[in-house]
Amino acid sequence: MKDVLPLFIMVDACGWEIIKNDPFAKSFAPHRRRLESVFGYSSTCVPSILSGRWPVEHRNWCYFVYDPRNSPFKSLRLLRWLPKAITSRRIVRRLLTKAVKRQLNFRGYFDLYNIPFKYISLYDFTEKKSPLKPGGMNRGPNIFDFLTRRHIPYFVSEPDLSERENLDILKGKVSSESIDFAFMYWPGLDGLLHSVGNESPEVPAKLRHYEKWIQELLDHVKYHYREVHLYVFSDHGMANCDEYLDLRSKIDALPVQMEKDYAVVYDSTMARFWFFNERARQAISAALKTVPQGRILPDSELAAMKALFEDRYFGELIFLVKEGVLIVPSHMGERPIRAMHGYHPTDKHSYAALLTNQTELPVQVNAIPEIFKLMTLESEQAFARSEKLAAPSAKPEPILAQTL
């Protein structure tokens, strides 16, 4: 039997507002706190957790950026001649996404979303590597680089497998007592919330489902580890979308042209612009100032959120909508969804949550990047205790980092 297993379970979108009045995990993780998230989507939040750094430091922010010189999508421009009734269908986009990801050998999350094929060759995609692997960050190391360098054996979820499959694999690792750290990533709640909103009875039902799985895992761990240090946490919350904003039609009506005068990515909650002349900058800026559902973020505010990129790689102007507003149609989707995240980090539903069975945390954790410090400390201590227990063995076998 091994000594201790640090078990980190990330439940995507399980924000503070989702669980603050729900008994989720209280029986085995009674100590809970609200955490500040970061400005951006899961493409930002997950790398921030895994690296301990903020967006401007790790440069994993929004997925699509204007970068025609480095665009890997030039061949897809031929699809612009296909009818929109075909190219805008989600099933078509999904099939094409799988083919493009395989062809380009992208290792991280990838989706073509709703980027028009007419303009797709103008854009690059920023997550070509997987943040869930060593060397997977755009800049700097992550927790898996840390574990690998120190030869700490670990488990990490494989995104291409189901949540249940990953749980069973982890149980197998526990049975063999071959790991000193585990990182489980469950994305299912995020998808459910997008579909049904945060007030649906399906949400607490999903939480009860996760509770059952966690309890199943804890019951299994106790036969192989003397202790489990459990941390259940999220990357952000989820706000219901009660107002839809057709921002694209407002910009299209201006006397400036996409590709000739400017480029833009319409995300679900923000629009990011690049300007090719002053006329376009002034016209678009003036138009955005008349839109009551959002505002242009000043550099000072972006800097405070540690999301001001001096090279303007992710956009020269960032327009952010109010919580509860959804930009639709957007480059993320042609049709409305029930709930979204990616609003200002201080908005009510943006806050993440941390639940644990530890009465005191060994480090300060008030924001999601600080979970990284918790993971490094817990993994080092668990590995040291494991090595100490193994020391009397005459011929200890080397412990190698394990990844999936």
Structural domain total, the chain: 3
Q: How far apart, in whole angstroms, are the C-alpha atoms of residue 84 and residue 89?
A: 8
124 Cα distance to chain centroid: 19
Answer yes or no: is 401 within a domain: no
B/e letters for 376-395, b = 16+ CB within 10 Å, e = fewer, are: bebbbbbbebbeeeeeeeee
C-alpha separations of 12 from 132, 187, 252 in Å: 14, 5, 35
Q: How crowded is residue 30: how many other Cβ atoms within 10 Å of its Cβ? A: 12
CATH code at position 223: 3.40.720.10
User: Which pLDDT belongs to residue 77?
Assistant: 87
3-state SS assignment for residue 220: helix
Task: Assess whether 30 and 156 both reside in one domain.
Answer: yes
3-state per-residue secondary structure call for 51-116: HCCCHHHHCCCCCEEECHHHCCCHHHHHHHHCCHHHHCCHHHHHHHHHHHHHHHCCCCCCCCCCCC
Cα distances (angstroms) measured from residue 197 to each of 37, 46, 191, 232, 363: 20, 21, 10, 22, 34
Residue identified by tokens 């993971």 is 375
Same domain, 97 and 203: no
Same structural domain, 251 and 320: yes
Give the pLDDT of residue 102. 92
Distance CA 356, CA 385 (A): 21
Within this chain, do residues 234 and 260 fall inside the same structural domain, yes or no? no
Residue 360 resides in a domain: yes
Please provide residue 298's backbone torsions phi and psi, each rounded to the nearest 5 degrees. -70, 160
Rounded distance between C-alpha atoms, residue 26 and residue 212, angstroms? 12
Query: Which secondary structure element, helix H or strand E, spans residue 354, and what is its range?
Result: strand 352-356
Supply the pLDDT for residue 92: 82
pLDDT of residue 94: 86
Residue 308 in any domain: the answer is yes
Q: Is residue 20 part of a domain?
A: yes
Q: What is the pLDDT of residue 183?
A: 98
Parts of the chain with a pLDDT under 50: 394-404
Return phi, psi of residue 351, to 5°: -70, 140
Residue 43 sits in the same domain as residue 157? yes
Residue 50: how many other CB atoms lie within 10 Å: 29
| Residue type at position 270 | M
Tell me the C-alpha distance between 348 and 127, whole Å: 28
How far apart are alpha carbons 54 and 57 in whole angstroms? 5
Report the phi/psi class of residue 137: left, alpha or beta, with left for phi > 0 and alpha for psi in -120 to 50. beta
Q: What is the pLDDT of residue 392?
A: 61
Same domain (yes/no): 233, 250: no
What was the pLDDT predicted at 90? 76
Same domain, 310 and 227: no
- The structure tokens listed for 392 are 């009397």
Q: How confident is the model at residue 393, as a pLDDT?
A: 53
Q: Are 227 and 249 in the same domain?
A: no
266 and 310 fall within a common domain: yes
Q: Are residues 295 and 209 in the same domain?
A: no
In a domain, 396, yes or no: no
With 0-12 / 13-18 / 19 or more C-beta atoms within 10 angstroms meaning exposed / middle / buried, residue 397 is: exposed
In a domain, 255, yes or no: yes
Asked if residue 294 belongs to a domain, the reply is yes
- pLDDT tens sequence across 96-129: 899 999 999 999 899 888 899 999 999 999 999 9
Please indicate, yes or no, whether residues 230 and 284 belong to a single structural domain of this protein.
no
pLDDT given at position 86 = 72
The answer to whether residue 318 sits within a structural domain is yes
Segments forming the whole domain that contains residue 150: 2-56+130-239+348-390
Q: Model-level pTM greater than 0.85? A: yes
Q: Are residues 47 and 182 in the same domain?
A: yes
